[in-house]
């Protein structure tokens, strides 16, 4: 599916975790549509990723930022607004996963899962919200997961953090609806050729003592539409929520081929 809209031309759209994978694919889509696209990541690769988009003639800026550092996040968003313009869209895609038997999760694991997936998402929203309130317009798309709807075995801290992202989304959708800011979450299923799936499949290989092929077969078999999620499935849905989707807020949309149905 290829969607097009003029709605994003010249608008500032910020994507976190955009050095690679799903985040980069979303940033590329925004840039192609004429948005002033800001790519944020803790990985310095993000600067090169943004340059790649600039070389195609698009407007893109790469910023190295750890989204768990609240002061740095607020400073960074203030600079984006003063140097590039008011923020129209924020995609909180940056996230980390971890997989191990529950009893082996120590404080450091819980901290990491919640600091990046939940606190980082919250801080970036705090950074972007003022310009959206001022303009009485804006879109925020938070990355939850299928595991945030129905928790995944061996991934309890991740599941709990992604569940928190869904409820954060609902609370903020209520809070900012009077400003016409639409805030939704997406809940992808296992998305092929990404960092999270590479980590998770490595975890299953280790914890379930299966080969990679067996892991892929086992999890594909659970998907009614018979395949894993593709990055493009996620990009198209996020783009819809950014450029259209005018009557949607507070939702947590499954992009799972029917694997998750509530
Ligand atoms: N891939 C999947 O199967 C899948 C399924 C469901 C949900 N998700 C969610 O989708 C999002 C993207 O997943 P992905 O597989 O593309 O991930 P990925 O690991 O490929 O990329 C995530 C990016 O986030 C960045 N990041 C991590 N910590 C950061 C921090 N503190 N500050 C700034 N950037 C940071 C990483 O450097 C990386 O570039 C995540 O939120 C993930 O939980 C992924």
Per residue in 138-189, pLDDT (tens digit) is: 999 999 999 999 999 999 999 999 999 999 999 999 999 999 999 999 999 9
Q: Is residue 196 part of a domain?
A: no
Asked whether residue 4 carries a pLDDT value surpassing 80, the answer given is no
Mean pLDDT rounded to a whole number for the chain: 96
pLDDT at 22: 98
Nearest residue (by CA) to ligand 1, atom 13, is: 196
DSSP code at position 116 = I
Q: Which of 165, 209, 197, 194 is nearest to 18 (CA)?
A: 194
Measured from the CA of 234, which atom of ligand 1 is nearest? 10
Q: Is residue 94 part of a domain?
A: yes
Q: Is residue 197 part of a domain?
A: no
Q: Is residue 141 part of a domain?
A: yes
Nearest residue (by CA) to ligand 1, atom 42, is: 95
Asked whether residue 51 carries a pLDDT value surpassing 80, the answer given is yes
Q: Is residue 168 part of a domain?
A: yes
Percent of the chain's residues with pLDDT above 70: 98
Catalytic residues: 158
Q: Is residue 210 part of a domain?
A: no
Q: Is residue 223 part of a domain?
A: no
Q: Is residue 4 part of a domain?
A: no
Nearest residue (by CA) to ligand 1, atom 2, is: 191
Measured from the CA of 46, which atom of ligand 1 is nearest? 39
Domain that holds residue 247: 12-191+230-254
Report the CATH number that the domain containing residue 240 is assigned in CATH. Answer: 3.40.50.720
| Angstrom distances, CA of residue 121 to CA of 21, 107, 249 | 18, 20, 17
pTM for the whole structure: 0.98
Measured in angstroms, how far is the CA atom of residue 210 from the centroid of ligand 1?
24
| Angstrom distances, CA of residue 194 to CA of 10, 68, 84, 189 | 29, 22, 30, 12
- Per the structure, the count of domains in the chain is 1
**Distance between start and end Cα atoms, the chain:** 24
Percent of the chain's residues with pLDDT above 90: 95
């Amino acid at each position: 599916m290829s969607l097009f809209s003029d709605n994003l031309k010249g608008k500032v759209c910020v994507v976190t975790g955009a050095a690679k994978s799903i985040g980069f694919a979303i940033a590329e889509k925004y840039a192609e549509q004429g948005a002033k696209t800001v790519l944020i990541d803790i990985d310095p690769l993000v600067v090169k990723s943004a340059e790649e988009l600039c070389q195609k003639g698009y407007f893109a800026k790469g910023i190295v930022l750890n989204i768990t550092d609240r002061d740095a996040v607020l400073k960074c968003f203030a600079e984006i607004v003063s140097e590039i313009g008011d923020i129209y869209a924020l995609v909180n895609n940056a996230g980390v996963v971890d997989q191990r038997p529950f009893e082996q999760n120590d404080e450091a694991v819980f901290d990491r899962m919640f600091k990046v997936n939940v606190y980082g998402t919250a801080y970036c929203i705090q950074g972007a919200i003022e310009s959206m309130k001022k303009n009485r317009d804006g879109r925020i798309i938070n990355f939850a997961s299928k595991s945030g709807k129905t928790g995944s075995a061996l991934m309890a801290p991740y599941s709990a953090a992604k569940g928190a992202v869904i409820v954060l989304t609902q609370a903020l959708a209520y809070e900012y609806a009077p400003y016409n800011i639409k805030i939704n979450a997406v809940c992808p299923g296992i998305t092929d050729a990404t960092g999270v799936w590479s980590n998770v499949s490595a975890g299953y290989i280790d914890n379930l003592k299966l080969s990679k092929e067996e892991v892929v077969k086992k999890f594909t078999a659970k998907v009614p539409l018979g395949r894993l999620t593709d990055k493009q499935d996620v990009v198209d849905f996020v783009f819809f929520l950014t450029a259209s989707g005018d009557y949607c807020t507070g939702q947590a949309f499954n992009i799972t081929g029917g694997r998750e149905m509530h």
